[in-house]
Structure 1
Amino acid sequence: MLELTHTTKTHDENRQGEALELAPTGKSDGRKLYIESYGCQMNFSDSEIVASILIDKGFETTKDYKEADVVFINTCSIRENAEQRVRNRLKEFESAKAKNPGMVVGVLGCMAERLKAKFLEEEKLVDVVVGPDAYRDLPNLIEKVDDGNKAVNVLLSREETYADISPVRLNSNGVSAFISIMRGCDNMCSFCVVPFTRGRERSRDTQSIIKEAQELFDAGYREVTLLGQNVDSYKYTPAVEEGEEPQAAVNFANLLELVAQVSPELRIRFSTSHPKDITDEVLYTIGRYENICKYIHLPVQSGNSRVLELMNRTYDREWYMERVEAIRRIIPECAISTDVITGFCTETEEEHQETLSMMDFVKYDFAYMFAYSERPGTLAAKRYADDIPEDIKKRRLTEVVNKQQEHSLERIQQYVGKVHKVLIEGFSKRSDQDYCGRNDQNTMVVFPVDARFKIGDYVHVLGESCTSATLIGRIVD
């Protein structure tokens, strides 16, 4: 799972639907597009690609679905309640469509392939269903709907990376942006639907990533997050013309360095790392560049080796602990966050206690925690009984959440009394008298507005107090 925010959350607090809007393009055929995204950062990044494709065909965007001609939900299939939220939202769109019969309603993304029959035929909630690798086909599919037909394209691709499409930055603060560096996943974790909904892993052309980072910096952006289901397995071999010498493959450590070299004023983040693939080479690269943030999201899922084997995570408890020790040794100031699943199939009380002891060993800065939810079509659903009662799952989840809150507070308290370099991302949610931004370790920092500085500037902030999720301070020279 990709990281969603910087704070401690349970997965039930997953990112809600968010309308995406940008200014009119000046090139419109009179049709308006509304996109609502759910789930991970990759979905939000994909929505920017969809908007780019359709704006190129003359669409404008709107934040009011009632005035839209085309309405899309970009979906997440991580949990059942996410699917229910989407279904409820589609019913709201159905009411709007009754007043505007020409409206086209569609489902994009991870939920598309698995639920296409339900959405199109059984419940008749949508007109078009499009998978993550078929967004280029959207103009044609919309035309089919205009002609009175339903339209579907959920074909997965081994080549599609959308490398040539410049995403339209939706709801942008003009400071931070996502760059997708790869698509799909080859890790067949038994609980996960991603390999079935996003297809096989493929890496994007390195030069297209560098070009996008440079363009973002030139446009005033000062932070990029490199996205992939497993960024550490990034590997791109440049194509060569006949007669030319083959070029060496670019791995993730190489890519990090190349993006960091765009400018020392461009801050680099990335998500997500897989414990089996994160190398010392990556860690040394992070340590070598001041503008690569000292923060790694390293999902553990469980602290018990037997459960990890059932999850098909391809590492054990000892391997994970060794990787954490390497991070602490090579990048001592690095923050680490994680994902935790409680109540996976056959998990015993003793094995749950090993997850808690792993948390004590690492002392994560942040965590994304959720009770196991069986997803149809996954290896776990086919092989194992979902045999842990819900009350036990929830009790174990509560214990994990409580422990993480203790660790989050302990970790953030160490930042009080220290000066942090912070990129001003915007105003605090609570007051326009305060700015907010994140430090190198991805901790949210809130501090009073200073007229000398604006959004997009780097400032030095002295941490003066904290909650378990936020550092509070003031700008110092």
Structure 2
Amino acid sequence: MLDAAGPGLGHFIREAGRGGAQPGGSIAEGQSEPPSGGAMRGKNVYVETYGCQMNVNDTEVVLSLLGDKGYSPIQDPTIADVILLNTCAIREKPENKIWSRLGEFKKLKAVAKKNKRRGPIVGVLGCMAERLKHKLLDADRLADIVVGPDAYRDMPRLLKIVEGEADGGAVGALNTQLSLDETYADVVPLRPAGAVTAFISIMRGCNNMCSFCIVPFTRGRERSRPTTSILDEIRLLSDTGVKEVTLLGQNVNSYADFATESQRGAPGTTVGDPFSTYAAGFRSVYKPKREGAVQFAELLQRAAEIDPEMRIRFTSPHPKDFSDDVLQVVQQYPNVCKQLHLPAQSGSSDVLDRMKRGYTREAFDALVDKARRLIPGLALSTDIITGFCGESEDEHAATLDLMSRVGFEQAFMFAYSQRDKTHAARHLEDDVPQPVKARRLAEVIQVFRETMFGKNEKEVGRTHLVLVEGEAKKSEEMLTGRTCTMKRVIFPKISVPASQHGCGGEAVPQPGDYVSVDVVSAQSSTLTARPLARTTLREFHSLHGSTVPRRS
């Protein structure tokens, strides 16, 4: 998950329930006329992005589409002609933040009206737009346009509609039509200049219909982007110096492209078992049809082969789609990161059944064991929901046991928040009191922190390959980056040799460089290290036999 804005794009990323960049600031009624300057009036846009990495990529798509119509991104909402909020609807808390932010922008409009000029057009994009639709226009006209995640191509037309409305007679513009085939495959996202990392959307939508989740209703059915367009985008990013790409999808590892010829041929199937493409012991509410398609393992392999010096990550997956061939690609290719996201949601088989997750605790444990057996040094992250409908203390204890047993390196943990339209909202009772949810969440977080700190302590003395991202937030004298296993590392900004072999001149590492480091201390979420040398991914792997060596 990102927690800071990319430079020059005029958009900010804030994690729901976590820290992050604080966009804009509050706008008071008595604020003076905004300063002049910037892009031409009517043609600049300010965007705030909330929620998941897919929303970050969607913002880059929106800025690209608007850029083709002459809109320029800026980072100050007080001089913006268009203000857009790209939203998350997965829980109530992030939605409340959006309502608050819309109220602040209404004050900005009032300031403009007082100064006898037209205020900014305010738009709500993404999942909250798809969920609430006309309610956002009807709520005291806090929004002027409402655009669902499949309707971004229509934004220039919607903006023109609002721009042409008579003052005082505005009714707003809306397009929340979901699509069966929209993937924005032909749109080149507008990314920050000089970016070291990038997101690539490979599929959209979700067919899983977990009982707690609103994503199928806000993102629609699954559809996969053509393989060739994905690989072409990776090549383009490689040519521009990007060193790490993250493949994105609501269920990223269910990718299946029937339009591109598979180089592996039709995968084998087990007669009578429609779920044979899944991990052992996993099922779903739908029967997948993937024979003859380019499936995720093949896409991942072909992506890794484009540039051996470019790291490949992916999120967000479903555990059911971690078939043996996916795990084997992760194991075999050094530039496919040895970190997997396994959203468990609960440690209780009974709760998992009510969640309609399609697996038991035993199946999940077996998948964890297999993944760690095949991929030495593997780091795991997860999602956890506490206080789901009917959750008992014994079922909660099973989740605590899961957290302790697995020892996740990263976890996104939340109390259950009922969402309209979902199976749980329609058929189950949200009967766990809020104080109980809060207490159980605190206990899950405590167990996670204890196990994570123990794992980080074991990193002391190990050598890691770090991709430099830039200066550390708290000190200009330190650099920061991430390991193959997604651990945050800080180390002194000093000159080091150009190779692990000690040859070549010395220089200070720059963003985009790989650096070999020895870990000297560990905090709860950050490792501190001593830089050894600039290196390459292949050189590091040849010397250590892995991108996650056990000891220096």
How high is the TM-score relative to the length of structure 1? 0.93
**DSSP-derived class of the 1:167 partner:** coil
2:440 — aligned with what? 396
Q: Matches of 1:312 and 1:56 in 2, distance apart?
A: 43
Q: Which residue of 2 aligns with 1:23?
A: none
2:349 is the counterpart of 1:301: no
Q: Does residue 79 of structure 2 align to residue 79 of structure 1?
A: no
User: What is the alpha-carbon distance in structure 2 between the residues aligned to residue 430 and residue 465 of structure 1?
Assistant: 17
Aligned to 2:48: 36
CA gap 1:470/1:449 in 2 versus in 1, 3 angstroms:
same
Corresponding letter in the other structure for 2:187: I
Distance 1:431 1:335 in 2: 28
Give the Cα separation in 1 of the matches to 2:513 and 2:39. 33
* SS of structure 1 residue aligned to 2:85: strand
Equivalent in the alignment of 2:178 = 156
Residue 48 of structure 1 deviates from its aligned partner by 0.3
User: Quick one: distance in 2 between partners of 1:323 and 1:62?
Assistant: 46
- What is the CA–CA distance in structure 2 between the aligned matches of 1:147 and 1:402, rounded to whole Å? 54
Structure 1 stretch displaced more, 117-126 or 135-144:
117-126
Of 327, 330, 347, 2:374 maps to: 330
Q: Which stretch shows the higher mean deviation, 374-383 or 283-292?
A: 374-383
Q: Which of 117, 135, 148 in structure 2 is aligned with 1:131? A: 148
User: Which of residues 512, 515, 529 is equivalent to 1:473?
Assistant: 529
> Structure 1 segments of 4 or more deviating over 3 A?
3-6, 14-19, 26-30
The one-letter amino acid of 1:419's match is T
Shift of 1:239: 5.3
Which residue of the partner structure matches residue 212 of structure 1? 233
Displacement of 1:114 in angstroms is 2.1
SS of 2:480's equivalent?
Answer: strand
Size of the aligned set, in residue pairs, is 461
Tell me the distance in 2 between the aligned counterparts of 1:144 and 1:176. Answer: 36
Letter of the 1:470 partner, please give it: T
Identity within the alignment, %: 49
Partner residue, 1:104: 121
Offset at 1:248? 4.2
- Judged with a 3 Å threshold, the aligned counterparts in structure 2 of structure 1 residues 179 and 68 are, in CA distance, closer, same or farther, namely same
Of 302, 324, 327, the match for 1:258: 302
2-structure distance, mates of 1:301, 1:14? 22
Residue 113 of structure 1: how far off its partner (Å): 2.3
Distance 2:519 2:349 in 1: 39
CA deviation vs aligned residue, 1:260-309 (integer Å, no higher than 9, x gap): 11111111111112111111111110111111100001000001111001
Q: Which residue of 2 aligns with 1:13?
A: 18
Cα offset, 1:30, TM superposition: 5.7
SS of match in other structure, 2:142: coil
User: CA, structure 1 residues 15+79, in 2 after alignment: closer, same or farther (shift >3 Å)?
Assistant: farther
1:448–1:474: 8 Å Cα contact kept in structure 2?
yes
Partners of 2:145 and 2:158 within 8 A in 1: yes
Shift of 1:131: 0.0
The SS at the match of 2:133 is helix
Q: CA deviation at 1:399?
A: 0.8
The match for 1:189 is 210
Seen in structure 2, the aligned counterparts of structure 1 residues 14 and 276 have a Cα distance that, compared at 3 Å, is farther
CA distance in 1, matches of 2:138, 2:462: 59
Relative to structure 1, is the Cα distance of residues 341 and 268 closer, same or farther in structure 2, using a 3 angstrom cutoff? same
In structure 2, do the counterparts of structure 1 residues 47 and 82 end up closer, same or farther at CA, with 3 Å as the change threshold? same
CA separation in 2, counterparts of 1:144 and 1:79?
31
Q: In 2, are the aligned partners of 1:15 and 1:38 still within 8 Å (CA)?
A: no
Using the TM superposition, give the Cα deviation of residue 11 of structure 1 relative to its aligned residue in structure 2, in angstroms.
6.0
Where 1:13 maps in the other structure, the secondary structure is coil
- C-alpha change, 1:18 and 1:215, in structure 2 (3 Å) is farther
Task: Give me the CA root mean square deviation.
Answer: 2.1
Q: In structure 2, what is the equivalent of residue 22 of structure 1?
A: none
User: 5+ residue gaps in structure 1?
Assistant: 20-25
Alpha-carbon deviation of 1:104?
1.0
The answer to whether the 8 A contact 1:10-1:370 is kept is: no
State yes or no: 1:121 paired with 2:155.
no
Q: 1:16 to 1:454 in 2, by over 3 A?
A: closer
CA distance in 1, matches of 2:107, 2:385: 37
SS of alignment partner, residue 472 of structure 1 = strand
**Is 1:427–2:471 an aligned residue pair?**
yes
Distance 1:28-1:266 versus aligned 2 partners, 3 A rule: farther
Q: What letter matches 1:258 in structure 2?
A: R
Match of 1:238 in 2: 259
Question: How many Å separate the matches in 1 of 2:405 and 2:97?
Answer: 36
Structure with the bigger RCO (C-alpha within 8 Å, sep 6+) is: 1
Matched with 2:164 is 147
Cα distance in 2 for residues equivalent to 1:75 and 1:31: 22
Range with bigger deviation, 156-165 or 409-418: 409-418
Give the match's secondary structure for 1:97.
helix
Q: Supply the AA of the counterpart residue of 2:78.
A: K
**Shift of residue 13, structure 1, vs aligned partner:** 2.1
The CA deviation string for residues 231-282 of structure 1, in whole angstroms up to 9 with x for no partner, is 1100102258xxxx9x942111111111111111111111112111111111
Cα deviation, 1:136-165, whole Å, max 9, x if unaligned, reads 000111111111151100000010000000
Once the two structures are TM-superposed, the CA of residue 410 in structure 1 deviates from its matched residue by 1.2
SS at the partner of 2:475? coil
Q: Is the Cα–Cα contact under 8 Å of residues 130 and 149 in structure 2 kept in the other structure?
A: no
Report if the CA contact (8 A) 2:254-2:295 is conserved. yes
Shift of 1:123: 2.2
